Amino acid sequence: MLCVQLIIKETGGSFAKNRMNIRGGQKGVKPQRQIILILDFGSQYTQLIARRIRERNVYCEIHPYYLSLADIEALQPEGIVLSGGPASVYAPSAPLPDKRIFELGLPILGICYGMQVLAYLSVSGQVHPATTREYGLAEIDLSSQSIQTSNALFAGLPNSFDVWMSHGDRIDQLPDGFQSIAKTDNSPVAAMMNLEKNFYGLQFHPEVVHTKDQDLILANYVHQICGCEGDWTMHSFIEETVEKIQNQTDGGRVLCAVSGGVDSTVLTALVQRAIGQQLVCVFVNNGLLRQNESDQVLEMFQSLKVDVHYVDATDRFLNRLAGVENPEQKRKIIGDEFIRVFQDQLNQLGQIDFLAQGTLYPDVIESVSVKGPSATIKTHHNVGGLPENLPFQLVEPLQELFKDEVRAVGTALGLPDSVLGRHPFPGPGLAVRVLGEITPGRLEVLRQADQIFIEEIRQAGIYDQIWQALTVLLPVKTVGVMGDERTYENAVALRAVTSLDGMTADWAKIPHDLLGQISNRIINQVRGINRVVYDISSKPPGTIEWE
């Protein structure tokens, strides 16, 4: 469960002023860390580019392709990556960046659509629909390129290897100053380079696991071509972030809603390290928690020596959710009620100047298209906007981190594995796992079934191999036979996925005999359930949660 459940659509205005940019860069002031800028053109792989670069201990940020030149200069990047995207550069409404980025003297790497942007915005380059489109694996050939030895981008790679293609256009005429440095059977220009300007283009995707380059291409780009030292580690992140939290809060008190999940616990430890007693932690029981979760959370924070104010708001939340079935409406009601609870608590807690949130990068990406021209998947509880009259500013020090990076921060802060290994839990809690109407009775049925599922995978020793495991109460009843009598009761779905960061996920291959044991226990021990199914959908096309 993330830190605070906030889900009203962002409209700008005073909300934008409340958000605190933890990076805090200013034009003309050299950032404390080197940065690679990724301009997003809507590719499904953009976040993977960021992950691969960060794995080289180099910090990077994703921004929309239309980021202004002034903002780019203010970031002072070491290099710019142009992502892929679904558009064609020659289409009337094609997304195109400010051409003046090519005059900044920075190394630029264009990937797929980004490579075509490089060619299209050059006077002499020509991009046209390919006679044969390339989707999937292709073998790249470097052996015929006479300048291979001076090509730092492909340093350390063999003359041929498999790459992942996903394009319907191709470059028919190279821009002036560019040379082809790789080809495939269908693409005479599978990669290109302008050595004088330090511009590079790849028609394939080096960021995906299907490209067999041992992650050397992006490593060569950030280290050899851009000159990044690779000194962005979680320890350096903690030091930098602690200092910024101290400077930005400047003695003010910070409210942090804790849930016991990885994100809010790491956030709490990080902010507490920065400001100590200025941090005020509140745990709100919204009646949508798992079995015995409130007691477990309070015990955990007590073991971490964190003082927590406990608020039981079960009746408030369930009364407002009565009769509501639409998942987006559920999220909005829950987010709004959390704010109301916090505002009521201000009368008891005294002056609060800031609100700390455990917002993560995937939350931002999936909720609003602020990072590029990507479609909104669903509103997230931590992002998407706040009331205009919010009485405090936001502190979101984790908002540019992926989940595994948050866990790495927690490890560096000394948090125990028992805390960092917990599966994610959604901000709206069981409200988005009880499909349809939420009632105390339906919540109790789900809690019991979910507890059995988690107990069994823990006892089988596979809990830590699974990214997230959950049970969903379906809004249908099915016919069954129990004790020679006909039953007409609820069905539940079990879902377990493996993932690195939650952006993509595959269904977990739980052994069939274990699934059978889980199903048997649930049907026999939970009154009101007579059918159990297992979800074998990946993400995409599905999301991890059902709502």
Catalytic amino acids?
112, 205, 207
Asked whether 110 and 116 are in contact (CB, 8 A), the reply is yes
Q: Annotate 253-278 with three-state secondary structure.
A: CEEEECCCCHHHHHHHHHHHHHHHHH
Question: Which two tokens mark 46?
Answer: 């953009």
- Give the burial class of 418: count Cβ atoms within 10 A of its Cβ; 0-12 exposed, 13-18 middle, 19 or more buried: exposed
Element containing residue 174 per DSSP (H, E): none
Question: Could you tell me the CA-to-CA distances from 311 to 286, 301, 500 in Å, in that order?
Answer: 9, 15, 33
The per-type count for the chain, helices as H runs and strands as E runs, is 15, 19
Block residue for tokens 């902010």: 271
Rounded Cα gap, residues 363 and 503, in angstroms: 9
- Parallel, antiparallel or unpaired: strands 506-507 and 485-498: antiparallel
Question: Which two tokens mark 53?
Answer: 């670069």
Rounded Cα gap, residues 187 and 135, in angstroms: 12
Q: What's the start-to-end Cα distance of the chain, in Å?
A: 15
Rounded Cα gap, residues 451 and 349, in angstroms: 34
Question: Which two tokens mark 194?
Answer: 């302008």
Rounded Cα gap, residues 399 and 364, in angstroms: 7
Asked whether 468 and 327 are in contact (CB, 8 A), the reply is no
Question: Which two tokens mark 196?
Answer: 């004088």
Rounded Cα gap, residues 180 and 174, in angstroms: 8
Rounded Cα gap, residues 54 and 120, in angstroms: 29
Nearest residue to 498 (alpha-carbon basis) of 464, 522, 528, 530: 464
What letters, b where the CB count within 10 A reaches 16 and e where it falls short, cover 427-460? bbbbbbbbbeebeeebbebbbbbbbbbbebbeee
Rounded Cα gap, residues 239 and 274, in angstroms: 9
Task: Specify the amino acid at residue 465.
Answer: Q
Nearest residue to 399 (alpha-carbon basis) of 206, 270, 209: 270
Rounded Cα gap, residues 58 and 217, in angstroms: 14
Asked whether 77 and 222 are in contact (CB, 8 A), the reply is no
Asked whether 62 and 53 are in contact (CB, 8 A), the reply is no
Angle between helix 262-275 and helix 403-412 axes, rounded to 10 deg: 40
